[in-house]
């Protein structure tokens, strides 16, 4: 691109980033240009605001964090004038307040520096009204490129032919000597992207996605936000593990702006949700780009995926400012934005030199009145893997539905396939896929010891499908209420209502919730009794703890309740709405270690390490057993008592539970020989903590060594590992894969 031939020295160039790079690449003489994108220019000409401005709106107008940012970003369109719209005048008043309090700043130096210099704008398919208004304050010129080309549009019959034609064209271009990094593809919906990635993998093509992702999508940011709920910014950052140097610096840079903010968690959550990051591009790779805004270079080849009417953005009159208010502000209405979107596409189609447009016949072409050449392409196959994949699909259709595809016989006679055969042996993955640093939790540790292959699928391949059902909702509700119970001014009615804000509940579920609310009231009354009988110093709910086990191994967990008693005793409680298994006999196999894991976290944490464990318990929140010899009230009280293990030290138990001789809060706690099984010595508790660390280190070594074989465990004649496992359809477990830890499996339970 020889754009610089028409540009004077000492000019300001407002161009997209890719055009800036193209200009710099082609410059062969010394020039004095200042480059800037449209977004940077608009920001310089409007105003900047600090976190104090957000705090001001939250405190003085009771806006949410999201509303405050939205308002601040829209105030740029307002000027010091009286509007017809009362809404605009209200926000103009807010704008003036912020200026008067020095909470928004206008960069007057920028305008003074460039008001007498030539400004050139190039590479934007549309110059919006606000951009044009700011440009009008300068000596500017817009450089247009109007090289209209013939437009070839490929009409395909269905989705399968469409995707095949796309890959055919890619391989044709590669055969012509076009490098993969010069081939771009756009307009792929999220629905189609999964299939496209899968087929690209079959074709052995690398993909680079230029769409920017939000920082909040990163697991490390989710972990950081979770830490912020109970820690300061500095402490939360220090607890982060397995984070790259660049990303850590980005987290610190963003967080530094909110150190003095009153609502730093909410502000940071919003900031991460609206801050993008660009994944490092893989070269050479087929790049998926954003259309129609992407500027295509003359030496690039653009493939447009299914350009149908449905694929175009449809703006509606539902923005922060209505169309009437936009008209008064002289910015584009929804109708104008739809026309702009259409014109941007038309410019892209007409001005792109190397263009291949596709659409599926049934979806209709997005621009039926445009003068184009409609071509019905022929499909060729460039990849044996794709042929095998296609053969497998056609064999599936024939095997299941007796559909005989015309290509089936040809493919079957020319390709060797082991159809319906399967080798379930684990093949070691690339060692580079295993991180040098990682964190385990009780759940992941338990999953690993139940079956190594399950850990591999769930935590490395991330084959998880979280769906919130009513049962999970009830578990979250009970945990939420019991966390709030220990806060000053607890009000059950208020917290119950608050939990269900913005949640859709069916009529049937509403009926169940009435009964559950009665149960919760009973639980709250029982907890009040606990507070009277226990010498409580402090209660920590939903406490997240993360500790370093070794240089590259971390262990974390969230404990429902940590009770600290005078003078220095500590106990842990895990709430259960389902079944309870407090048996410690399987701990030696790395199983059922939940409560010992919590003891381990307390022992290793800076906050609780100087306290002595007095007990570790489960608490059954919903009734699971009923004794006909007892009354309903007696059954409720018994079911709500803590189930677990207590330190075998009468003097310390007395400090922990004043009713210890016939405890009203701990099930089966009587200091007698026949109930010795529920009491543990300090040495036994220490051994449990040591066992947890041993199991963590052992699992970590195996994970580092890439050991993920299929090895479900049978315990006392029952295969608990495969029971309800969501990965049965993947592993195809065989009898020889099963590990018998204690006893033989029943004939009908080996693979259940």
Rounded to whole angstroms, the Cα distance separating 633 from 529 reads: 14
To the nearest 10°, the Cα dihedral for 112, 115, 118, 119?
90
The dihedral built from the CA positions of residue 216, 221, 222 and 224, taken in this order, carries a sign that is: negative
| Whether 114 contacts 35, CB under 8 Å | no
> In the predicted model, what is the mean pLDDT of residues 265-285?
78
Residue 431 has pLDDT above 70, yes or no: no
Is this structure's pTM higher than 0.85?
A: no
3-class SS letters over 216-268 = HHCHHHHHHHHHHCCCCHHHHHHHCCCCCHHHHHHHHHHHHCCCCCCCHHHHH
Range name among 141-155, 436-450, 474-488 with the lowest pLDDT average? 141-155
Q: What φ, ψ does residue 289 adopt, rounded to 5°?
A: -115, 165
pLDDT at 670: 66
Give 8-28 pLDDT, tens digit per residue: 778 899 988 877 877 777 776
Q: What's the mean pLDDT in 495-523?
A: 86
CATH topology assigned to domain 152-211+288-375: Rossmann fold (3.40.50)
For residues 583, 589, 594 and 598, what is the CA-based torsion angle, rounded to 10 degrees?
Answer: 120
Question: Which residue spans within 592-711 are E strands per DSSP?
Answer: 612-620, 642-647, 679-680
Residue corresponding to tokens 């660390």: 693
The confidence score (pLDDT) of residue 219 equals 81
524, 525, 531, 533: CA torsion to nearest 10: -140
Alpha helices in 657-725 (DSSP H): 682-704
126, burial (CB in 10 Å: exposed 0-12, middle 13-18, buried 19+) = middle
> Within 10 A of 566 (CB to CB), how many other CB atoms are there?
12
Domains in the chain: boundaries: 3-143, 152-211+288-375, 213-277, 384-414, 437-467+536-709, 469-533, 714-752
Nearest-angstrom CA–CA distance, 146 and 348: 10
- The string of pLDDT tens digits covering residues 204-214 is 888 876 556 77
**656 burial type by CB count under 10 A (0-12 exposed, 13-18 middle, 19+ buried):** buried
* Rounded to 5°, angle at Cα 468 from 465 and 472: 120
Tell me the torsion sign for CA atoms 458, 460, 463, 464: positive
Written as six digits, the tokens of 406 are: 């015309």
Task: List pLDDT tens digits, range 564-589.
Answer: 988 899 999 999 887 788 889 889 99
How does DSSP classify residue 666?
Answer: B
Task: Tokens 């308002």: give the residue.
Answer: 71
Give the chain's mean pLDDT: 85
pLDDT average, residue stretch 455-470:
78
- pLDDT single digits (tens) 222-251: 888 888 887 888 888 888 877 777 788 888
Ranked by mean pLDDT, which of 455-459, 629-633, 684-688 comes out on top? Answer: 684-688
């Amino acid at each position: 691109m020889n754009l610089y031939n028409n540009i004077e020295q000492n000019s300001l160039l407002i161009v997209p980033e890719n055009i800036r790079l193209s200009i710099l690449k082609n410059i062969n003489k010394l020039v004095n240009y200042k480059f800037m994108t449209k977004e940077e220019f608009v920001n310089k000409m409007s105003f900047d605001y600090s976190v104090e401005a957000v705090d001001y709106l939250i405190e003085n107008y009771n806006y949410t964090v999201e509303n405050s940012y939205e308002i601040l970003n829209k105030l740029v369109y307002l000027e010091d004038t009286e509007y017809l719209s009362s809404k605009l005048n209200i926000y103009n008043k807010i704008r003036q307040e912020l200026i008067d309090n020095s909470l928004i700043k206008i960069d007057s130096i920028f305008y003074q520096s460039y008001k007498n210099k030539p400004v050139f704008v190039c590479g934007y398919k549309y110059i919006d009204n606000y951009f044009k208004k700011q440009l009008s304050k300068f000596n500017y010129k817009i450089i247009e490129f109007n090289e209209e080309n013939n437009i070839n549009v490929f009409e395909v019959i269905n989705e399968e032919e469409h995707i095949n034609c796309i890959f055919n064209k890619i391989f044709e271009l590669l055969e012509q000597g076009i490098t993969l990094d010069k081939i771009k593809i756009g307009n792929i919906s999220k629905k189609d992207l999964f299939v496209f990635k899968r087929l690209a993998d079959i074709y052995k093509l690398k993909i680079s996605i230029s769409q920017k992702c939000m920082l909040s999508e990163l697991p490390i940011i989710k972990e950081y936000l979770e830490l912020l709920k109970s820690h300061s910014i500095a402490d939360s950052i220090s607890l982060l593990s397995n984070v790259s140097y660049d990303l850590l610096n980005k987290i610190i840079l963003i967080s530094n702006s909110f150190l003095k903010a009153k609502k730093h968690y909410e502000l940071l959550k919003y900031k991460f949700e609206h801050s993008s990051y660009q994944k490092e591009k893989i070269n050479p790779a087929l790049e998926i780009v954003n259309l129609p805004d992407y500027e295509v270079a003359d030496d690039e080849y653009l493939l447009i995926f299914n350009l149908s009417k449905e694929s175009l953005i449809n703006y509606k009159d539902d923005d922060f400012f209505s169309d009437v208010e936009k008209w008064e502000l002289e910015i584009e209405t929804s109708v104008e934005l739809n026309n702009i979107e259409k014109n941007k596409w038309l410019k892209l189609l007409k001005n792109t030199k190397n263009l291949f447009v596709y659409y599926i016949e049934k979806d209709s072409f997005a621009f039926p009145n445009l003068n184009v050449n409609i071509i019905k392409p022929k499909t060729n196959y460039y990849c044996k893997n794709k042929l095998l994949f296609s053969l497998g699909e056609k064999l599936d259709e024939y095997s299941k539905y007796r559909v005989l595809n015309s290509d089936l016989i040809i493919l079957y006679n020319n390709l060797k396939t082991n159809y319906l055969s399967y080798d379930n042996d684990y093949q070691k993955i690339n060692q580079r896929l295993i991180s040098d640093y990682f964190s385990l939790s009780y759940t992941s540790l338990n999953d690993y010891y139940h079956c190594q292959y399950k850990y591999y699928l769930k935590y490395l391949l991330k084959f998880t499908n979280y769906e919130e059902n009513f049962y999970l909702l009830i578990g979250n509700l009970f945990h939420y209420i019991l966390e709030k119970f220990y806060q000053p001014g607890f009000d059950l009615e208020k917290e119950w209502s608050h939990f269900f804000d913005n949640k859709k509940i069916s009529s049937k579920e509403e009926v169940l919730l009435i009964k559950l609310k009665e149960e919760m009231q009973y639980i709250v009354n029982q907890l009040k009794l606990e507070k009277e009988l226990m010498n409580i110093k402090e209660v920590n709910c939903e406490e997240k703890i993360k500790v370093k086990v070794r240089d590259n191994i971390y262990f974390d967990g969230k404990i429902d309740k940590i009770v600290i008693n005078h003078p220095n005793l500590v106990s842990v409680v895990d709430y259960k709405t389902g079944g309870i298994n407090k048996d410690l006999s399987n701990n030696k196999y790395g199983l059922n270690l939940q409560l010992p894991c919590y003891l381990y976290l307390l022992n290793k944490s800076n906050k609780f390490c100087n306290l002595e464990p007095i007990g570790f318990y489960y608490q059954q929140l919903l009734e699971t057993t009923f004794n006909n010899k007892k009354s309903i009230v007696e059954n409720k009280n018994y079911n709500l008592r803590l189930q677990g293990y207590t330190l075998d030290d009468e003097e310390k138990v007395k400090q922990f539970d004043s009713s210890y001789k016939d405890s009203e809060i701990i099930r089966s706690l009587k200091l007698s020989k026949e109930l010795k099984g529920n009491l543990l010595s300090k040495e036994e508790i220490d051994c449990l903590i040591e066992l947890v660390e041993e199991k963590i280190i052992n699992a970590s070594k195996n994970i580092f060594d890439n050991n993920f074989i299929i090895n479900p465990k049978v315990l006392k004649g029952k295969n608990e590992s495969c029971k309800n496992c969501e990965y049965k359809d993947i592993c195809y477990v065989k009898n020889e894969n099963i590990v018998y830890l204690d006893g033989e499996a029943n004939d009908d339970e080996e693979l259940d």
